[in-house]
Amino acid sequence: MVDSSSKQTKVTSSHWGAFEVDVEGDRIVATRPFSHDPHPTPIPGILPAAVHHRTRVAHPSIRRGWLEKRKRDGRGSDEFVALPWDEALDIAATEIDRVRREYGNKAIFGGSYGWSSAGRFHHAQSQAHRFLNSIGGYVASFGSYSTGCAQSIMPHVFGANFLQLLYEHQDGWQTIHDHTQTLVMFGGINPKNSQVSMGGVTEHETAGWFHRFAAKDMRCINIGPQRIDAPEGCEWIPVRPASDTALMLALAHVLESEGLTNRDFLARCTVGFERFRPYLMGETDGQPKSPEWAAPLCGVDPDTTRNLARRMASTRTLVTVAWSLQRGEHGEQPYWMSAVLSAMLGQIGLPGGGVGYGYGAIGGVGKSLIGLGGMTFSQLTNPVETVIPVARIGDMLRNPGQPYDFNGRREPYPDIRLIYWAGGNPYHHHQDLNALHEAWQKPETVIVNEPWWTATAKRADIVFPATTPYEREDIGRSNLDDYLFHMPRLIPPVGEARDDYAIFAGLAERLGVGAVFTEGRSAADWLSLLYEEYRSLAVPKGVEVPDLEELRARNWIRLPIRAEGPNRTLFAPFRENPEASPLGTPSGKIEIFSETIDAFGYDDCPGHPVWLPPSEWLGAATVAAPLHLVSPQPGDKLHSQFESALADREGARPETLVMHPGDATVRGIRTGDLVRVFNTRGACRARASVSEDIHPGVVALPTGAWFGDPGGNIDPDGNPNVLTKDVGTSRLGQGCSAHTALVDVARLEA
């Protein structure tokens, strides 16, 4: 037990990096930056208030309407009844058993998407998947909200798993520093976003690299709707959201018209240029994709486009693409087209040249490390084969049995009767939340493990209070980081919270599979076992890792795993000899035209990249919805985590909406005004911030505010997902289309 008079300071790790925590008795009282972090985030500052906040789930809780009458309506408005653990676990286990007996495990949705917390063993989603597999399986989901569309399209283009490509093979920052002369950043590279990385990023380096780029006169050009998407000092070419493909086509058109295309590279390393070229030059549709054609679409004047294309062809150029570009309808196109543009420049495979994805999105991208692997809690195998694209949950609930297309296959949506969620907040992350709220009434039962009363917990039938990482022992490590942490249990569990492992072990026991789930081990046993596996995997890589006792005593260590010598260059061996080191595509080369995709016959993603305007963007603006809403990641926290404590801060809520002076003036809006942001899908409040740093016609509202209680006609704290459109990127990728939304804004009286 924790001595109630004790004081201690320890370091712990999180998705936003390491930090020091001061504990007095059973309370976390303060946090401080970690001494080795050159650019710490403000996020840990909220922790002391959040971890003890009144919105923590104190007891196992069951919604009254469900408990008494198994009523489905009332999710989000009913009161909850607190029950003893044993009773609540009995009820949940009986219900899970009923559903699997009556409908089979294919009626249980356990995708359970979400970031939960860092820490290798107590990873909520892995725990949930292992439990559900031990009871016969569940309907799973493919991909992430982050990169779902890219994960589908890019293997067709480069023949590789997209995540491996960007985490393990893309050029490192040092390579970029040493070789790149022109850095063309679609969607910017935002140090605010690279403060975060799955499993943690200890030394936040991105801002520092940009200082070094400036010192050597690298030209860094941010192409996107907001100046602040790149560090200060970068050039800015403002473009309308969703128009990047038009601009990329125009850049390609300049290369081709001015003899700047690298024919040798296209011939050696790509296939299908001859099928794409007639479209580019307008031979197929009578419309050359020239800078003049693109100008009214993207808002970039033709001279700027021409000069940029010439510069890109005459210097070592790296094109980078933020993940946000594929988080919108037809998000496949800018991703594919950026690869084609870079292939035409012919610099793919040269150090500091070519193309890269997600620099800045995640702090680990661009770090070259020796991967150690291990510390992975087995999820067992899932006997149910049904997998939906992660962002299609609303469609799945609305359309059971209805067929849908996804990356060349056509399947019916499963008929879901029970949802189990641990470690995610769909009422934060999903699009068109008012529509989700309706679809969410369909399943018979919703079970959620959560530390806080989030909008998702409030819309569940059974809520189990989960511990946070500060209430349990774990190990913090990430393949994208060179530090290793013992994450000590700092305080006892708040309220009656239990670890996800204990919750699932309790359910598994009741369902007769206790031994399958736990293998007879306690959490401490698992930690030792996983840690020893990790240690032994490090040995052949020549890396010595202390034993667990020593790590406990030292709290953290820095691992000698920074890759030495010449830095990493994406596709260097392939460029060198495409026959000897072919890509994993059907042709072994970069596919400018894909026979596979062409054979799918999708008009929303044909055989080569094309300009396809989304259903909502400035080119389709209406009187009722004249402004394009982008909803980036919040700078002050991770998604919706710690929201309730942040919202207590003076002036923090509603969330800030950035808008252009021209758009503000005609609406009589000034900085600091309360506004209503609305469209036909919903409305939310926000606090206006008027700025020249955003493209006219665009408004930006970060994600992160919790969705309000049902019944109100305006979401009080500013959750942009009451406004976004719930539609797949295309039949190919079926990713989330968070950035596809037109809205209007009006001043609210105080």
Examine the residue annotation and report whether 113 is marked as an active-site residue of this protein: yes
Q: Tell me whether strands 474-476 and 483-487 are parallel, antiparallel or unpaired.
A: antiparallel
Instruction: Please report where in the chains the tokens 């570009």 appear, as a residue.
Output: 325
Q: How far is the CB of 167 from ligand MGD (least distance, A)?
A: 13
Interaction mask 483-502, ligand MGD, x per CB under 6 A? -----------------x--
Cβ distance 728 to 391 under 8 Å?
A: yes
Residues numbered 325 to 344 that lie near ligand MGD (CB under 6 A) are 325, 327-328
> Residue 202 has which token pair?
């200890």
Task: Pick the closer one to Mo ion by CB: 367 or 428.
Answer: 428
> Residue 480 has which token pair?
């994208």
Rule CB under 6 A: choose which of 139, 160, 318, 361 binds ligand MGD. Answer: 361
Question: C-alpha distances in angstroms, 664 versus 659, 671, 690, 712?
Answer: 7, 9, 7, 26
Q: How far is the CB of 375 from Mo ion (least distance, A)?
A: 22
> Residue 570 has which token pair?
């994406």
CA distance 428 to 232: 30
**Which of Mo ion, ligand MGD, none does residue 116 bind to, with CB < 5 to 8 Å depending on kind?**
ligand MGD
Rule CB under 6 A: choose which of 48, 143, 187, 394 binds ligand MGD. Answer: 187
Task: Pick the closer one to Mo ion by CB: 358 or 578.
Answer: 358
Q: Taking CB under 6 A as the rule, does residue 737 contact ligand MGD?
A: no
Q: Using CB atoms within 10 A of its CB, is residue 357 exposed (0-12), middle (13-18) or buried (19+)?
A: buried
CA distance 219 to 659: 27
Rule CB under 6 A: choose which of 406, 452, 485, 517 binds ligand MGD. Answer: 452
CA distance 198 to 376: 14
> Residue 232 has which token pair?
């200060």
DSSP 8-state secondary structure symbol assigned to residue 567: P
Task: Specify the stretch interacting with Mo ion by CB under 5 A; choose among 140-148, 260-268, 387-395, 553-561.
Answer: 140-148
Interaction mask 682-701, ligand MGD, x per CB under 6 A? ------------------x-
**Which of ligand MGD, Mo ion, none does residue 424 bind to, with CB < 5 to 8 Å depending on kind?**
ligand MGD
What is the Cα 459 distance to its own chain's centre? 23
Rule CB under 6 A: choose which of 170, 175, 180, 195 binds ligand MGD. Answer: 195
CA distance 722 to 495: 32
**Which of ligand MGD, Mo ion, none does residue 449 bind to, with CB < 5 to 8 Å depending on kind?**
ligand MGD
Q: Taking CB under 6 A as the rule, does residue 241 contact ligand MGD?
A: yes
Question: C-alpha distances in angstroms, 435 versus 455, 578, 725?
Answer: 14, 49, 10
Q: Taking CB under 6 A as the rule, does residue 454 contact ligand MGD?
A: yes
Task: Pick the closer one to Mo ion by CB: 13 or 146.
Answer: 146
Cβ distance 586 to 304 under 8 Å?
A: no
CA distance 589 to 579: 9
CA distance 149 to 139: 20
Q: Taking CB under 6 A as the rule, does residue 451 contact ligand MGD?
A: yes
Active-site position among 115, 336, 413, 556: 115
Q: How far is the CB of 749 from ligand MGD (least distance, A)?
A: 27
CA distance 339 to 344: 9
Examine the residue annotation and report whether 404 is marked as an active-site residue of this protein: no
Rule CB under 5 A: choose which of 126, 127, 146, 724 binds Mo ion. Answer: 146
> Residue 628 has which token pair?
């394009």
Q: How far is the CB of 401 from ligand MGD (least distance, A)?
A: 27
Rule CB under 6 A: choose which of 122, 129, 477, 486 binds ligand MGD. Answer: 122
Q: How far is the CB of 323 from ligand MGD (least distance, A)?
A: 3
Task: Pick the closer one to ligand MGD by CB: 606 or 634.
Answer: 634
Task: Specify the stretch interacting with ligand MGD by CB under 6 A; choose among 112-120, 210-218, 374-382, 596-604.
Answer: 112-120
User: What does the DSSP assignment read for 66-107?
Assistant: HHHH---TTTTTS-EEE--HHHHHHHHHHHHHHHHHHH-GGG
Sheet holding 80-82, edge to edge: 80-82, 61-63, 462-465, 445-450, 418-422, 108-109
Active-site position among 66, 85, 103, 113: 113
Rule CB under 6 A: choose which of 115, 158, 276, 483 binds ligand MGD. Answer: 115
DSSP 8-state secondary structure symbol assigned to residue 168: I
Chain residues that interact with Mo ion, rule: CB under 5 A: 146
Chain residues that interact with ligand MGD, rule: CB under 6 A: 114-117, 122, 124, 145-146, 186-188, 190, 192-193, 195-196, 223-226, 229, 239, 241-242, 244, 322-325, 327-328, 361-362, 422-425, 428-429, 449-452, 454, 466, 468, 500, 630-635, 638-641, 700, 703, 720-721, 724, 738-739
For the annotated catalytic residues, the residue numbers are 113, 115
